Each structure stands twice: as structure tokens, then as C-alpha cells.
Structure 1
Amino acid sequence: MKPRFNDDATMDAIMRGWPATNRVILQLGMLCVGCPIASFHTISDAAHEHGLREELLRSELQAAIDRKDAN
């Protein structure tokens, strides 16, 4: 499964491009929604900042995108 976002995508761009990802971000306890730093943080940055495994965050974001596209 190929991600629809690239490694340089910011959290802000991901949330705006695929609003279904907002739920994942909130469920993981991340504070990206409404955060002014989200326009600078990549997935890698956000995972590190929130103490999450980057692979987990990527897979959860991709799953949210895929679920939304399946509907």
C-alpha cells in the first residue's frame, strides 16, 4: 500500500488534504489539530515530539485515508 502523502508532507497539509486523519491524530493524543507548529512538522517530527513510533503513525494515517476512500 503506497502512502498518498510524501515524507516531506506537513501534519497541517495531511490534516487539510485528508480530514479523516484528524480523528486518528486526536485518538493518539496528539495536539496537531489547531497547533501552529503543524505547518512545519512532518510525520517524523510529530511522531518524535509525541513519543510515538513513526511507523505506527504512518500506518494509522494511511488506514484513515484508505477507509475514507473506500466509502
Structure 2
Amino acid sequence: MKQRSSINPDMVVDEIMRKWPVTVAVMLAYRMLCVGCPIGAFHTVAEACREHGIDETRFILDLESAVREER
């Protein structure tokens, strides 16, 4: 059984990209500017989604899916 990556809305986006590099592609697909952004070290998923007008639940599901597919 594959373990979930436990990505949640309170996690910092930079932490997610460092822990699971495959998530960078998801960020780029959503046209999020978090990749390489100095604010990415402080923004949570919830804040980044709100800032970019992205559905948080869908975004987290897509991040989780990318992490699962990599395993």
C-alpha cells in the first residue's frame, strides 16, 4: 500500500517542492510563480492558492497525485 505524502494547506510551498521535487511540475502547470520565488519559503499552500486564485482542494489533490505517481 502506498503511503500518502500528507500535503496539507498549512505546509509551506517551498518545503513541499524540496521534499517532493515532482511537485514543481504541478506548480508550473497551475502557472504558480512559487518556483524560485523568495516568498515561497513563507507562503503556505492555502495562502498561495488564495493569492493565485486556485482551488485549494483540487491543487492539493494534484500535488498528492504527482507524489504517488513518482513512487
- Give RMSD over aligned pairs: 1.5
User: Which runs of 5 or more residues in structure 1 are unaligned?
Assistant: none
Q: Which of residues 17, 20, 30 is equivalent to 1:18?
A: 20
Deviations 1:8-64 (A, max 9, x none): 320000000000000000011000000000011111001001000100111011011
Which is bigger in relative contact order (C-alpha 8 A, separation at least 6)? 2
Equivalent-residue separation in structure 2 for 1:15 and 1:5 (angstroms): 11
CA distance 1:32–1:20, change in 2 (3 Å): same
**Using the alignment, how far apart are the partners of 1:45 and 1:58 within structure 2?**
13
**Is the CA contact (8 Å cut-off) linking 2:10 and 2:46 kept in structure 1?**
no
Q: Structure 2: give runs of 5+ residues left out of the alignment.
A: none
Residue 26 of structure 2 corresponds to residue 50 of structure 1: no
Asked if the contact 2:13–2:44 (Cα under 8 Å) also holds between the matched residues in 1, the reply is yes
Identity among equivalent positions (%) equals 42
Q: CA deviation at 1:2?
A: 4.5
Q: Residues of 1 paired with 2:36 and 2:29: CA distance?
A: 15
Secondary structure (helix, strand or coil) at the match of 1:15 reads helix
Q: Which runs of 4+ in 1 moved over 4 A?
A: none
